[in-house]
């Protein structure tokens, strides 16, 4: 019962059985009642058509044979048994006596219905288990009911017809049931096979094999499921590739400074080094250690951002104030590079809802880029503005700019134009952070002018 195939076959079986049971238990009895009623109606009409003759014969003082003759003919014409009862008054109480019958020697009929006619004075009808009976009063000239004519006809043909119908319902039902079970089983088997294929494909994907898409052979729900599954498989394959590449690049990036560190340590072991060279090597060591430190922090940040586990604490922040504070951190570097950093503010507070620590991190990344990717001696401009519901922080430099085809790639992790300088994680982190704060990091660049703009909801 646990398989879809058996359950569907059972469902088809149950539905068909219910339909047959309804036919058998509801329609067949109704048919029987209707046929019986029709029988009575026909009998009433036949009685109406023949009672005149009976009345005439009973009204005159014809001899008994004449009456018998008339009753028998009327019975024949009505296609029913006709029994004529005379109403005798015995001590004031009416009594019924059979005076004539179209079927000689026929069994005595229940006279209850005739007594009812005596009381009401109107034609009455009834259906017993085996007979349809119509009782018609026959009045004499004074309007007194002197006879009651009982028309009766057997209902056995009705029962016979209904029994045939019941039997046919049963035979047709048995065939329908067999077909339903077979059809249900076949349909379910076809469905189960297609579901099985999906299951197998899912198992393959779970085992890391993204190479075999499921053939989409129809447009129905299962076809759509297969299509969605193939889409998912494609995306998973892409993610898998990206993940592998990320790990490969990350370990490569980590390896470079580590090898370099190892090399310098080996060189430093040489005891005949003069003081000057030793100091230079130690300087290099410090540089590589710093590079490693930055790289590990960046990698950690990026992986936290991508896993969604980096917690942000948004609060109303004045971006002008933040821009000045972060810019002043760069004074020593600026002095070294003979560059000038100008902070342009409107004089009013530029409020935005964001995490100040993370916005400062983005600014550092942007200013650092501006410094490293523009020639010494050129200016950098930082500005904070606010309009149409957004607060904007812009960092502008006057370096050689970013090439058009590189513009779409600079926000990807590890994309960098010069390997020696950085690892290409800065902008990836910055744009992820901006998105997490419901903001956006955009760039515009041409030779001599590059502007990165951080847009935050105000
Ligand atoms: N202001 C800029 N002017 C010109 N090119 C830039 C500028 N900012 C970024 N780029 C380009 O975008 C690339 C990616 O920048 P990103 O900050 O992500 O990495 P990076 O600076 O190379 O390394 P790091 O991870 O150390 O920051 C850079 O290599 C550089 O080519
Ligand atoms: Mg950078």
How do residues 199-243 score in pLDDT, each as one tens digit? 898 899 889 888 888 888 888 888 899 999 999 999 999 888 888
Is 408 a pocket residue for ligand 1 (Cβ < 6 Å)?
A: no
* Nearest protein Cα to ligand 1, atom 9: 369
Segment 312-340, tens digit of pLDDT: 999 999 999 999 999 999 998 888 888 88
Is 397 a pocket residue for ligand 1 (Cβ < 6 Å)?
A: yes
Does the pLDDT at position 30 exceed 80? Answer: yes
- Which CATH number among 3.30.565.10, 3.10.580.10, 3.40.640.10, 3.90.340.10 corresponds to the domain 312-457? 3.30.565.10
* Nearest protein Cα to ligand 1, atom 28: 416
Helix and strand totals (H; E) in the chain: 12, 12
Is 423 a pocket residue for ligand 1 (Cβ < 6 Å)?
A: yes
Is 370 a pocket residue for ligand 1 (Cβ < 6 Å)?
A: yes
Residue 209 CA to ligand 2 center (angstroms) comes to 36
Residue 369 CA to ligand 1 center (angstroms) comes to 5
Element (H, E) at 454: strand 449-457
* Nearest protein Cα to ligand 1, atom 17: 426
Q: Do domains 221-306 and 312-457 have the same CATH topology?
A: no
Q: Indicate the pLDDT class of residue 34, thresholds 50, 70 and 90.
A: very high
Return all residues near 137 (Cβ < 8 A) that are at least 6 apart: 117, 118, 121, 122, 123, 145, 147, 148
Which pLDDT value is given to residue 83? 94
> What is the three-class DSSP state of 3?
coil
Element (H, E) at 306: helix 275-307
CA 425 – CA 413 distance, rounded (Å) = 5
Quick one: what percent of the chain has pLDDT higher than 90?
A: 50
Q: Beta partners for 341?
A: 380
Residue 319 CA to ligand 1 center (angstroms) comes to 23
Mean pLDDT along residues 346-372: 92
* Nearest protein Cα to ligand 1, atom 31: 417
Instruction: Show me where the domains of the chain are located.
Output: 4-160, 221-306, 312-457
Does 169 or 66 have the greater pLDDT score?
169
Mean pLDDT along residues 100-114: 85
Is 288 a pocket residue for ligand 1 (Cβ < 6 Å)?
A: no
Give the ligand with the smallest distance to the CA of 451: 1
Which pLDDT value is given to residue 1? 65
Element (H, E) at 67: helix 64-78
Which pLDDT value is given to residue 421? 72
Query: Cα angle vertex 441, ends 435, 444, to 5°?
Result: 160
Segment 245-274, tens digit of pLDDT: 888 988 988 998 899 999 999 999 988 889
Does the pLDDT at position 62 exceed 80? Answer: no
Residue 420 CA to ligand 2 center (angstroms) comes to 12
Residue 415 CA to ligand 2 center (angstroms) comes to 10
Give the ligand with the smallest distance to the CA of 249: 1
Structure tokens at 17: 């059985």
Quick one: what percent of the chain has pLDDT higher than 70?
A: 98
Is 417 a pocket residue for ligand 1 (Cβ < 6 Å)?
A: yes
Neighbours of 297 (CB within 10 A): 12
Ligand 1: which atom is nearest the Cα of residue 295? 25
Q: Indicate the pLDDT class of residue 351, thresholds 50, 70 and 90.
A: very high
Is 421 a pocket residue for ligand 1 (Cβ < 6 Å)?
A: yes
Ligand 1: which atom is nearest the Cα of residue 374? 3
Is 381 a pocket residue for ligand 1 (Cβ < 6 Å)?
A: no
Look up the CATH superfamily of 4-160.
PAS domain (3.30.450.20)
- Mean model confidence pLDDT for the chain: 89
* Nearest protein Cα to ligand 1, atom 29: 416
Q: Indicate the pLDDT class of residue 420, thresholds 50, 70 and 90.
A: low
Is 426 a pocket residue for ligand 1 (Cβ < 6 Å)?
A: yes
* Nearest protein Cα to ligand 1, atom 8: 369
Question: Pick from 194, 253, 239: which is nearest to 220 by CA?
Answer: 194
Does 383 or 417 have the greater pLDDT score?
383
Is 450 a pocket residue for ligand 1 (Cβ < 6 Å)?
A: yes
* Nearest protein Cα to ligand 1, atom 27: 426
Mean pLDDT along residues 20-27: 90
**CATH T-level topology, domain 221-306:** Helix Hairpins (1.10.287)
pTM flag (> 0.75)? no
Residue 8 CA to ligand 2 center (angstroms) comes to 62
Give the ligand with the smallest distance to the CA of 370: 1
Residue 343 CA to ligand 1 center (angstroms) comes to 21
> Between the CA of residue 197 and those of 46, 91, 134, 194, 427, what are the distances in Å?
73, 96, 72, 5, 44
Sign of CA dihedral 350, 351, 357, 362: negative
Which pLDDT value is given to residue 107? 81
Residue 351 CA to ligand 1 center (angstroms) comes to 28
User: 129-137 long-range contacts, Cβ below 8 Å, gap at least 24?
Assistant: 130/154, 130/155, 130/156, 131/155, 132/36, 132/39, 132/40, 132/43, 133/43, 133/109, 134/40, 134/43, 134/44, 134/47, 136/47, 136/51
Which pLDDT value is given to residue 364? 95
Is 410 a pocket residue for ligand 1 (Cβ < 6 Å)?
A: yes
- Residue whose CB lies within 8 A of the most ligand 1 atoms, among 253, 416, 418, 419, for a mutation test: 416
Is 373 a pocket residue for ligand 1 (Cβ < 6 Å)?
A: yes
Burial class of residue 133 in the structure, from the number of CB atoms within 10 Å of its CB (0-12 exposed, 13-18 middle, 19+ buried): buried
CA 11 – CA 184 distance, rounded (Å) = 8
Which pLDDT value is given to residue 61? 62
Give the ligand with the smallest distance to the CA of 445: 1
Structure tokens at 451: 């502007």
Is 362 a pocket residue for ligand 1 (Cβ < 6 Å)?
A: no
Element (H, E) at 298: helix 275-307
């Amino acid at each position: 019962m646990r398989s879809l195939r058996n359950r569907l076959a059972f469902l088809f079986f149950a539905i068909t059985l219910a339909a047959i049971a309804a036919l058998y238990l509801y329609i067949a009895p109704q048919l029987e009642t209707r046929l019986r009623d029709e029988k009575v109606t026909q009998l009433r009409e036949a009685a109406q058509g023949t009672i005149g003759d009976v009345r005439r014969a009973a009204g005159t003082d014809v001899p008994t044979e004449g009456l018998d003759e008339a009753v028998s003919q009327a019975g024949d014409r009505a296609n029913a048994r006709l029994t004529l009862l005379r109403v005798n008054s015995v001590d004031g109480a009416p009594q019924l006596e059979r005076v004539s019958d179209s079927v000689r020697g026929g069994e005595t009929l229940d006279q209850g219905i005739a007594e009812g006619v005596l009381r009401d004075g109107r034609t009455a009808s009834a259906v017993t288990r085996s007979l349809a009976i119509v009782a018609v009063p026959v009045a004499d000239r004074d309007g007194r009911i002197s006879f009651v004519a009982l028309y009766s006809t057997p209902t056995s043909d009705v029962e016979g017809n209904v029994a045939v119908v019941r039997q046919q319902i049963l035979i047709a039902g048995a065939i329908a049931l067999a077909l339903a079970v077979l059809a249900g089983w076949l349909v379910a088997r076809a469905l189960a096979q297609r579901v099985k294929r999906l299951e197998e494909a899912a198992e393959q994907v779970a085992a890391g094999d993204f190479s075999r898409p499921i053939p989409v052979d129809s447009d129905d729900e299962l076809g759509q499921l297969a299509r969605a599954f193939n889409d998912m498989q494609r995306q998973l394959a892409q993610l898998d590739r990206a993940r592998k590449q990320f790990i490969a690049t990350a370990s490569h990036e980590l390896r470079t400074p580590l090898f370099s560190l190892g090399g310098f340590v080996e060189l430093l072991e040489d005891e005949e080094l003069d003081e000057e060279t030793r100091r230079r090597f130690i300087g290099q060591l410090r540089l590589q250690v710093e590079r490693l430190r930055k790289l590990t922090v960046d990698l950690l940040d990026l992986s936290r951002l991508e896993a969604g586990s980096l917690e942000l604490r948004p609060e109303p922040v004045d971006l002008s104030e933040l821009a000045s504070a972060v810019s002043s951190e760069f004074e020593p570097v600026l002095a070294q590079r003979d560059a000038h950093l100008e902070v342009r503010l409107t004089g009013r507070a530029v409020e935005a809802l964001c995490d100040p620590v993370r916005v400062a991190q983005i600014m550092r990344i942007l200013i650092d880029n501006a410094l490293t990717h523009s020639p010494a001696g050129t200016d950098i401009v930082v500005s904070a503005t606010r309009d149409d519901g957004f607060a904007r922080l812009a960092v502008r430099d006057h370096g050689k700019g970013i090439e058009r085809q590189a513009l779409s790639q600079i926000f990807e992790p590890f994309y960098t134009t010069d390997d020696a300088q950085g690892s290409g994680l800065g902008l990836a982190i910055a744009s992820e952070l901006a998105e997490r704060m419901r903001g956006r990091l955009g760039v515009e660049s041409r030779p001599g002018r590059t502007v990165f703009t951080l847009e935050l909801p105000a």
